[in-house]
Amino acid sequence: MNKTLIVITGPTAVGKTELCLDIAKHFGIPIINADSRQIYRDLKIGTAAPTEEQLRQVRHYFVGTLGLTDYYSASMYEEQVMQLLNELFQTSDYALMAGGSMMYIDAVCNGIDDIPTVDDDTRAKLKKRLSDEGLEALCEELHQLDPEHYEVVDKKNPRRVIHALEICHMTGKTYTSFRTNIRKNRPFRIVKIGLTRERETIYDRINKRVDLMMQAGLLDEARRLYHLRHLNALNTVGYKEMFTHIDGTWTLDEAVERLKGNTRRYARKQLTWFKHDSQMTWFSPNDKQLILNHIKQ
């Protein structure tokens, strides 16, 4: 029988966790986490990471394995997951990858360009230049060094602009030259399952989840991490809003409302991305038997 990678994804708060636990138990397999923030071990509340009880029920990979200062990328994730799948398929015909990080899922299913890892020295220099010179000056430099990528990059996103410049400076080549967009063939079948609900239901679930996060101690978690707020791992919905409250810019009520609104916006972005994937078959999270039938067919 063909080896099969089951991919279960969908917008935040749609209800992936419980369904994935059930699917994993049905096939007797672990869960490969595809949430780029749950990989960090100190972000349990703000990322809605699996609980200790859930981790006991089913083995999870790529949950709480990195420190906040560790460098990580989608290409590293692709390489590590491919190695893991090679091991898992020795003893099972199925493997399960679940989460909502679009780049990570894409990296495993289609491959990602082999862009060099940026050294610490180059990263520090560009970070300082952003602080000293501002984003506009760096955009102009990217325009000179790699006009092709300048045309498509999000010029308001400093991380994207800086990363392209880091590659230009470090390699002496354009960032564009490393982006082949060639799809890699995988030696296994991929079954992609998208979970969705009515949009208003998703929004309501997001609002309730944020309230539960606050009750669970999200603000205290953010306070413990406040001194590290400059790290890329913390440049994410949930922590940014709490940090803005801690520094006195917003009241707690304002921060919570912004968090709900930004999470809803992120869910819309996820849905838009996934809807473009013609290989995705969509289900309600309540359709467990239909999903199992689909996987087996």
For 166-205, how does the pLDDT look when each residue is reduced to its tens digit (9 = 90+)? Answer: 999 988 999 888 876 678 899 999 999 999 999 999 999 9
The pLDDT mean for the chain works out to 93
Q: pLDDT category, 117, cuts 50, 70, 90? A: confident
Using the predicted structure, report yes or no on whether residue 22 has a pLDDT greater than 90: yes
* Domain count for the chain: 2
Last residue of some domain: 178, 204, 220?
178
Q: For 17-33, what is the mean pLDDT?
A: 97
One domain for residues 95 and 157: no
Residue 187: which CATH number? 3.40.50.300
One domain for residues 46 and 155: no
Non-local CB neighbours of 1 within 8 Å, separated by 6+ positions: 93
One domain for residues 200 and 93: yes
One domain for residues 144 and 18: no
One domain for residues 75 and 164: no
DSSP 234-290: G-STTHHHHHHHHTTSS-HHHHHHHHHHHHHHHHHHHHHHHHT-TTEEEE-TT-HHH
One domain for residues 82 and 134: no
Q: pLDDT category, 71, cuts 50, 70, 90? A: confident
Could you tell me what percent of the chain has a pLDDT over 90? Answer: 78
- Looking at the whole model, is its pTM more than 0.85? no
Last residue of some domain: 178, 208, 226?
178
Range of the domain at 142: 120-178
Q: Which residue has the higher pLDDT, 79 or 232?
A: 79
One domain for residues 36 and 88: yes
Dist. CA 40–CA 22, nearest whole Å: 24
One domain for residues 103 and 207: yes
One domain for residues 205 and 135: no
Looking at residue 86, what is its pLDDT? 97
